[in-house]
Amino acid sequence: MMAGIFAVLLIAFVLNFSGLRRLAVSCLLVSLALCVGLFLWEIYSPEYGFRMPWLQVDLERAFAPIGSS
Partner 1 sequence: MRRMARSEAPIMVVLDRLVLLLMLAIVAAILTAAMILQYAFGEIPCPLCLLQRVALFGCCFGLIQQLRAEGSERGSGIGLVFALLLLVISVRQTLLDLFPRPDHAYIGSAVLGMHMEVWSVLVAVALLLGFAIRFALFGAPRAAPDADGSLVHRCARGLELYVVLICVLNFVSVVLQCGLGECHTFGYRLL
Residue 49, strand partner residues: 45
Select from 5, 20, 23, 30 the one that contacts partner 1 (CB under 8 A): 5
Burial of residue 28, with CB atoms counted within 10 A of its CB: 0-12 exposed, 13-18 middle, 19 or more buried:
middle
The packing angle between helices 21-43 and 2-17, to 10°, is 160
Where in 23-62 is the site for partner 1 (CB under 8 A)?
A: 24-25, 28, 31-32, 35-36, 38-39, 42-43, 52, 54-55
**Contact residues for partner 1 (CB under 8 A)?**
1-7, 9-10, 12-14, 16-17, 21, 24-25, 28, 31-32, 35-36, 38-39, 42-43, 52, 54-55
